[in-house]
């Protein structure tokens, strides 16, 4: 999974555009990574 980092970064950017709550953003990313 060479592009896993890029995938997570683009996912995080898409969330950041609509959600400025960093705690909520971190939780969403953790759920996304865990599948």
Task: Express each pLDDT in 17-29 by its tens digit.
Answer: 655 567 777 888 8
Give the 3-state secondary structure of 1-35: CCCHHHHHHHHHHHHHCCCCCHHHHHHHHHHHHHC
Query: pTM for this structure?
Result: 0.35
pLDDT at 6 over 70: yes
Q: For residue 17, which phi and psi values (nearest 5 degrees)?
A: -65, -20
Confidence tier at 16 by pLDDT (50, 70, 90): low
The answer to whether the CB of 25 falls within 8 A of the CB of 19 is yes
């Amino acid at each position: 999974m060479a592009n896993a980092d890029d995938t997570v970064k683009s996912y995080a950017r898409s969330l950041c555009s609509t959600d400025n709550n960093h705690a909520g953003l971190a939780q969403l990313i953790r759920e996304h990574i865990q599948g």
